[in-house]
Amino acid sequence: MINVILADDQKIVREGIKMILSLDEDINIIGEAENGRQLLILLNKVLPDVILMDVRMPIMDGVVATKIIKEKYADVKVIILTTFSEDKYIFKAIKNGADGYILKDAGSDYIIKAIKTAYDGTMFLDPGVALKIVTAFNSLTSENHSSHKVYNQKYTLDALTPREIDVAKLIAQGKNNKYICEILFLRLGTVKNYVTKILEKLELNSRTELAVFISKCQI
């Protein structure tokens, strides 16, 4: 059973999402929140597997809440579910560690698939959103290429060990830690350590950022 919390300031939206998710017997709604601050209070009482998070909410928005949640509860998956597809929301959410970003006009099957995919440890992005992330990231790397080593492809290759590159490539393909363990014959704890080291070396904040970066490096 996948335990889910909904965070959206509009009650009618939450009710609609609950109706959609009730169609799947593997998903269980364990809580709701009207804003990021209310969500953080709720998390002190109960921890979900996945959070469906709106972006624009009063008091504390979803982007800020995502950053706090991922820092405090790293294993909780956060999927941004919103009507906003502007680059500024997408890139900030992914940078803050969001495990997925989909739009509210997606079909019910698509939303359910996003929850299950994130729960399994694989990032899930709306195709249009993925394109915007690549565009935003390319723009950012271009602006900082001369002044920041994280965007230097030669530095990237030199910084990672051969095994770390293997792990990074699989992450870029959207593979979860369990899959990486099986393919590379590693323990789960070892893979987690590799992921942490890779993100630290490249000064990135999430698997999604890493996937986009590796794609740009073409390794």
Q: Which residues of 13-47 are buried (b: 16+ CB within 10 A; e: fewer)?
A: ebeebeebbeebeebebebbbbbbbbbbebbeeee
Return d(Cα 102, Cα 37) in angstroms, integer.
Answer: 22
Q: Which domains does the chain have, with CATH numbers?
A: 2-125 (3.40.50.2300), 145-217 (1.10.10.10)
Return d(Cα 35, Cα 41) in angstroms, integer.
Answer: 10
Residue 103: name the closest of 68, 121, 119, 79 by CA: 79
Q: Per-residue confidence at 31, pLDDT binned at 50, 70, 90?
A: very high
| Segment 107-162, tens digit of pLDDT | 788 899 999 989 988 888 887 777 666 665 666 555 554 444 444 554 566 788 99
| Segment 74-102, tens digit of pLDDT | 899 999 988 876 667 787 888 899 998 88
Task: Compute the chain's Rg from CA coordinates.
Answer: 17
Instruction: Retrieve residue 153's tokens.
Output: 């492809």
By the 8 A CB rule, do 86 and 106 touch? no
CB atoms under 10 Å from CB of 86, counted, come to 10
| Segment 41-67, tens digit of pLDDT | 999 999 999 999 999 999 999 999 999
Instruction: Retrieve residue 172's tokens.
Output: 């870029």
CA 115, chain centre distance (Å): 11
